[in-house]
Structure 1
Amino acid sequence: MNIEMKSVRKLRVHWPVTSETFSRLAAGEAEAFKDDQGIAALLQALTEFVDLGDFGKYRHVFESGLGFEGFTVTEHANPTLGKVGMQTISPTFVFTTYFEAALDDAAVDRFTRRIMEIHPWEVPVIELSGPISVSSTALEAAIGTTAAS
């Protein structure tokens, strides 16, 4: 069986959440994705851009993790959380999805700007990778073909 690979870029967004949402997600409560307005808005943005999370038979594919962001607010900032001169630690939802590496810059700019519009931070952490390879083969198709032989 050959595993097909496709060239993609990774989009990762760090999104602040409340301690309650963090705890619910850590406990495996999938309803927390819908109950948290910020995460719900982020997932809605994912569905607005057909190029994000497109894996052929599957659409709007994403991965998530939990972590913490740390920062110190400067006197020129207008923070959502934290005070000038103090280090702040924020519970964080880490959202990752993928898009075709050949996608034009204008499309990438559109969804990056959309995420910045809905993100609660003054300076959101949004990562865009260079091209990487991910598998694009549906295993059931390969297994089904082998089983039928």
Structure 2
Amino acid sequence: MKIEMKSVRKLRVHWPIAPESFARLAKGDVEAFEDEAGIVALLQALSESPDLGDFGNYRHVFESGLGFEGFTCTEGANPTLGQVGQRTISPTLVFTTYFDAALDDAAVERSLQHVVEIHPWEVPVIELTGPISVSSTALPAVLESEAAS
């Protein structure tokens, strides 16, 4: 099998979700993606950006995982969840997608700005990596041998 690699940057967003949505997703209920308003907004942002999640014949590619965010708000914070001085634990969807590493900085900034605008947190946790390599295609050996003929 021939594997081609593509240079990309990884975008990971930590998104708070309702405990009910967390429980449904943990049980494998994918319809919870359509019932949680925040997830719907995040997936809409992905589908509106042709640069995010582009894997050739596959578009809007993402991965997600469930977890928890923990934080303590300090004076001056305006929390969506929790109170100043109190430890808060939030059920979280960890959303990961990719974009071409050659994408210009202005396009990257637009995508990040859109995510910040729709994110419910005052200070969202958004991770952006430098270039990494991911597989972009895999051709069975049979196809390779036919192409060589």
Q: TM-score range by the shorter chain?
A: over 0.9
The answer to whether structure 1 residue 71 and structure 2 residue 71 are counterparts is yes
Give, in angstroms, the shift of residue 18 of structure 1: 0.7
> What are the ranges of 5 or more consecutive residues in structure 1 without an aligned counterpart?
none
**Map of 2:19 onto structure 1:** 19
The answer to whether structure 1 residue 145 and structure 2 residue 149 are counterparts is no
- Cα RMSD (Å): 1.4
The answer to whether structure 1 residue 131 and structure 2 residue 131 are counterparts is yes
**Map of 2:3 onto structure 1:** 3
How many percent of aligned residue pairs carry the same amino acid? 72
| Greater strand share, structure number | 2
- Residue 144 to residue 59, structure 1, CA distance change in 2 (3 Å): farther
Runs of 4+ in structure 1 over 2 Å off: 141-144, 146-149
The 5-angstrom pairing of residues 8-87 of structure 1 reads 8-87=8-87
- Residue 146 to residue 101, structure 1, CA distance change in 2 (3 Å): closer
TM-score in terms of structure 2 length: 0.94
SS at match of 1:81: coil
TM-score in terms of structure 1 length: 0.94
Question: Which whole-Å deviations, capped at 9, do the CAs of 1:13-49 have from their partners, x for residues lacking one?
Answer: 0000010000001000010001000000000000111
Question: Which whole-Å deviations, capped at 9, do the CAs of 1:47-70 have from their partners, x for residues lacking one?
Answer: 111010000010000000000000
